[in-house]
Structure 1
Amino acid sequence: MDANRMLARPWLPGVELFHADFSGQPFGRHSHDAFAIGAILQGVGGYQCRGARHALPAGTLSLMNPEEPHTGHAESPRLVYRMLYVEEARLPALLGRKRLPTGFRELNPADDGQVAAGLARLATEFERGAALALESELLEVLERVFVRHGGLRAAAPAQRDGGVTAFLRDYLEAHYAEAVSLEQLAGLVQRHPRHLIEAFRRAYGVPPHTYLLQRRVREAKRLLLGDQPPLEVALSLGFYDQAHFSGTFKRFTGVTPGQFRRAART
């Protein structure tokens, strides 16, 4: 049975993530008006492109330029992959570079696992709808893929920008329970999101969305010592649901919210 999903958000135009899980469904010759960045997770995919037939086993990437005609099919009983589509016109704003990618030369390079992992995190954030984390993961995937495979020069290390990063840290401390977007933060300090993330990471060791989660977990500890149920704590702090809260809490503390609460009351 096919279990395909297309993930998109209205406030992030020109960007879609297709999670494919199917058997036997062929795709006729077509093209996309976007760069396509995919990772094969299970099975073997196949397609015809640039005058040749290609087989893509798990662990390889599928990279295509806009308007590049190709077909598509599964060469195994089941095929699972994730494919990120980014319209070419969106790249200047997303990458914040004067020189943009020249395009993908190799269709099926091997993946060291980092692109597949990045697409997995991106899929999770698409479903949660948290703008700050989603936009941050998107920029990381694009930077990694286009520098490695698309002719984009690696960015120079971000310089320390103490006044800007301190302002952002104070803003996150004051608004930790709110839905904060990367575009919003960039607008506050008149910096491109990519520069903002790099400068913040250089100053505090983590990107803004991780800092925000750490701040929420710190507040959650205080609230869990009171009488609020964990679900109320989760929703009051801006978590998507209790599972998201529990997973994030354990990621930073090593225990679940329930374990923390029980230990504090013994």
Structure 2
Amino acid sequence: MNGNRLLAKAWLPGVELFHADFSGQAFGRHSHDAFAIGAILQGVGGYQCRGQRHALPAGTLSLMNPEEPHTGHADSARLVYRMLYVEESRLPALLGRKHLPDGFRTLNPSDDGQVAAGLARLATEFERGDALTLESELLAVLERVFVRHGGLRAACPAARDGGVTAVLREYLEAHYTQAVSLEQLAALVQRHPRHLIEAFRRAYGVPPHTYLLQRRVREAKRLLLGEQAPLEVALSLGFYDQAHFSGTFKRFTGVTPGQFRRGAVT
């Protein structure tokens, strides 16, 4: 059994997400040229690192520093985990901090579920290709993990920065049918992505990627009341496919696009 997938994007260099689902597979002694941030979802993972043998049951994290030699294998009949790899050279741009993480001291701390959930959202967005949501989820995972386990100081709350957030909102309103990236938004207002996300959240209650999805759903309601089919509506509003559209629509409204159309018929 092997359901492994390695996810990456050309426009997001130095970042990969490995979804492991296997039995009977083992990894010999090796290292990665990146920080590795993983969450065990099912089964028990095992490896040798720092002169000790470690067992990682479901609900724990697997944290590795760059160039740290280790082995890897399943300590159960089936092992499922997600592992995010981020090259060290990418951290200054991604985190936007003067003082970078010291590195992970604890290899397998317990997880309260937030990191695992963040990695699951990342995996979904890697496969959908929604740049704004993917980058936002990536920054959230990195911030959470490095503050908790990597010696990174928690960021000071961002100011509301009213002029900047107003420009961002106007841009999202004008381009909600298009693919929007954090890089575009950061260049537009000359702010680091982490700052603009927090400032926007403080101003409008939600981060930019959520605001964009809400705007698309609002327009979708209007279009669904006309003659357009759900798939046509989905593609015209920048959704990856009909499943992405339907899931997002239900997330914000409680019903699927089809249910909305049927309920709107008079």
TM norm structure 1: 1.00
SS at match of 1:250: helix
Displacement of 1:115 after TM fit? 0.1
SS at match of 1:234: helix
Q: Which runs of 5+ in 2 are unaligned?
A: none
Q: How does 1:186-225 map to 2 (within 5 A)?
A: 186-225=186-225
Indicate the residue corresponding to 1:100 in structure 2: 100
Deviation readout 1:23-71 (Å, 9 max, x if unpaired) = 0100000000000000000000000000000000000000000000000
Displacement of 1:77 after TM fit? 0.4
Distance 1:251 1:151 in 2: 35
Displacement of 1:139 after TM fit? 0.1
Deviation readout 1:68-108 (Å, 9 max, x if unpaired) = 00000000000000000000000000000000000000000
Indicate the residue corresponding to 1:62 in structure 2: 62
Distance 2:29 2:146 in 1: 25
- The amino acid of 1:193's aligned partner reads P
Distance 1:100 1:212 in 2: 30
Q: How does 1:126-145 map to 2 (within 5 A)?
A: 126-145=126-145
Displacement of 1:208 after TM fit? 0.2
| Aligned: 1:161 with 2:183 | no
- Provide the aligned C-alpha RMSD in A: 0.4
SS at match of 1:228: coil
Displacement of 1:202 after TM fit? 0.4
SS at match of 2:40: strand
SS at match of 1:21: strand
Displacement of 1:114 after TM fit? 0.2
Indicate the residue corresponding to 1:40 in structure 2: 40
Distance 1:32 1:88 in 2: 11
Q: Which runs of 5+ in 1 are unaligned?
A: none
SS at match of 2:180: coil
- The amino acid of 1:200's aligned partner reads F
SS at match of 1:177: coil
Distance 2:90 2:167 in 1: 28
| Aligned: 1:256 with 2:259 | no
Displacement of 1:180 after TM fit? 0.3
Displacement of 1:160 after TM fit? 1.1
Distance 2:188 2:258 in 1: 37
Distance 1:244 1:14 in 2: 26
Distance 2:26 2:257 in 1: 46
Indicate the residue corresponding to 2:121 in structure 1: 121
Distance 1:153 1:257 in 2: 43
- The amino acid of 2:137's aligned partner reads E
Distance 2:201 2:31 in 1: 38
Deviation readout 1:167-198 (Å, 9 max, x if unpaired) = 10011001000000011000000000000100
Distance 2:162 2:255 in 1: 34
Distance 2:46 2:229 in 1: 50
Distance 1:233 1:32 in 2: 43
Displacement of 1:218 after TM fit? 0.3
SS at match of 2:62: strand
Distance 1:137 1:160 in 2: 21
Displacement of 1:112 after TM fit? 0.2
Distance 1:166 1:250 in 2: 28
Distance 1:52 1:210 in 2: 43
TM norm structure 2: 1.00
Distance 1:131 1:202 in 2: 22
